[in-house]
Amino acid sequence: MDNEKKNEDKGMTRRDFAKSLVVGGAIGAIGMMGLYSYSPWRKKHFAKVEPKQIDIGECKSIKIINISETSWFDNKVLMGDIKGAGGLLVNQYEYNWPPFSDIKGKLGKGSYETGIKHIKQYLPNNLEKAWQFQMENAVHPENAGGYACLIDVELLDGSHKKILLDSGWAYNWMDECFKREGIDKMLMKKEIDFLVISHEHFDHFWGLPVTLKYYPDITIYVPEGFYPEGKQYLKDSGHRGKVITTKPGLTPLFPGCALYTFAIPIICRVYGEQSLYFNVKDKGLVSVTGCCHQSIIQFATTGRNTIKFKKLYGVYGGLHISPFEDWDPKYDDLVIAFKNYDFEKVGCNHCTGIVTAKKFIEAGYPVVKGTARFRSKDTAYLGNGDIIEF
């Protein structure tokens, strides 16, 4: 399937996509993973947001259970695969990573079509069989983890809404995490109102069949910009419910909650990310994100310019600053700038990087620490199984 044609379907050619990402190439692939999110080039992808002060209503509180923040277990292995396959602009479906591996597939020589044919018959009810094939044929299947969290929102009338943000990557790991936190039972009882896929990246989206195993007709929100492979995977995974595609900008969901879709190019040929805003009564705005490729500065500024609220209260998620534990002096300016937003609670993990979390702590920011359980590596940020409340 022609990659340029796929991008043209969204009004963006492959050449434009590549041009938008091939900036700061001299700093190397690892640095580019975080620096591009905060580079001047990034700004051209955002529509100018005029202050509108939209009233999205209020909620009473939110509680976030970190199901899994460990997207992969070894940074060197992941970066080695990305470099070996041709770099950050390569289509993620071509890596021959699980779950789209071909028989004894080679790094960088795969495709969605050749991979899905081996496991489609097993989705979503026989994930063990599907993953066994990956263990025998995929490139580094043992390194796959995933990102997902459960957001429990208490409304002003005392009722609750539950949102599953992302579905991780590895079928075996995510199923284990779902069972550990009781997500499997919540899904079976249809207690979770909908699934939000923050963006199409492997570690947030490819574990979709684990969610569908327990709730095949759950409503799913995806940002505009999904490629044909991603749209087909929704179907091939066994989804039988409604898929709602959010366009760039604000999408109110229920009192006190709204999605915001950022139309941005992301590494590994992914496009578009959506994040969540919650307006907590008497406290202020809580920003919840998967990877925050739009940058935490852009995320906070957009909320400030778009939504009516008391103050910026808190933030949770991956903040995409030093995802591979690298550190560039430019990040120090970001740590200093972060103070201007005066968050009362900072719950970070995943692609924030442990180094970044420790920098925030050293700067005196109100970072909520974790317990470093279930293969999370450090207490500097919220790890697997940890909870934060706003």
DSSP bridge pairs for 164: 150, 195
DSSP bridge pairs for 280: 59, 284
Question: pLDDT by residue for the chain (390 residues), tens digit each?
Answer: 444 444 444 434 444 444 444 433 333 444 445 655 655 555 556 566 555 689 999 999 999 999 999 999 999 999 999 999 999 999 999 999 999 999 988 999 999 999 999 999 999 999 999 999 999 999 999 999 999 999 999 999 999 999 999 999 999 999 999 999 999 999 999 999 999 999 999 999 999 999 999 999 999 999 999 999 999 999 999 999 999 999 999 999 999 999 999 999 999 999 999 999 999 999 999 999 999 999 999 999 999 999 999 999 999 999 999 888 888 888 898 899 999 999 999 999 999 999 999 999 999 999 999 999 999 999 999 999 999 999
- Helix (H/G/I), strand (E/B), else coil: 316: strand
pLDDT value for 44: 57
pLDDT value for 280: 98
Cis peptide before 99 (omega within 30 of 0): yes
- Helix (H/G/I), strand (E/B), else coil: 262: strand
* Domain membership flag for residue 174: yes
* Domain membership flag for residue 53: no
Helix segments in 243-325, DSSP class H: 296-306
Q: How far is CA 126 from CA 129, 141, 205, 237, 384, in A?
A: 6, 18, 18, 11, 25
CB 375 within 8 A of CB 349: no
271: containing domain: 61-389
pLDDT value for 327: 86
Tell me how far apart the terminal alpha carbons of the chain are, to the nearest angstrom. Answer: 45
Contact residues for 137 (Cβ-Cβ < 8 A; gap 6+): 101, 102, 103, 104, 105, 118
* Domain membership flag for residue 133: yes
* Domain membership flag for residue 39: no
pLDDT value for 326: 83
* Domain membership flag for residue 9: no
Per the structure, how many domains does the chain have? 1
Please report, for the domain that includes residue 316, its CATH number: 3.60.15.10
Which amino acid does the sequence have at 111? S
Residue found under tokens 């590596």: 377
What are the structure tokens assigned to 48, written together?
């100018």
pLDDT value for 330: 82
pLDDT value for 15: 45
Q: What is 235-257 written as a DSSP string? A: HHTT--S-EEEEPSEEEEEETTE
**d(C-alpha 97, C-alpha 134), whole Å:** 8
* Domain membership flag for residue 191: yes
* Domain membership flag for residue 359: yes
Among candidate residues 17, 27, 38, 37, the one with its CA nearest the CA of residue 89: 17
Q: Rounded to 5 degrees, what are φ and ψ at 69?
A: -110, -5
Q: What is 126-182 written as a DSSP string? A: -HHHHHHHHHHHSSSGGGB---EEEEEEE-TTS-EEEEEE---S-HHHHHHHHHHHT
Among candidate residues 288, 297, 355, 346, the one with its CA nearest the CA of residue 149: 288
pLDDT value for 273: 98
**d(C-alpha 45, C-alpha 27), whole Å:** 21
pLDDT value for 35: 58
- Helix (H/G/I), strand (E/B), else coil: 98: coil
* Domain membership flag for residue 335: yes
- The neighbour count for residue 259, using CB atoms within 10 Å, is 20
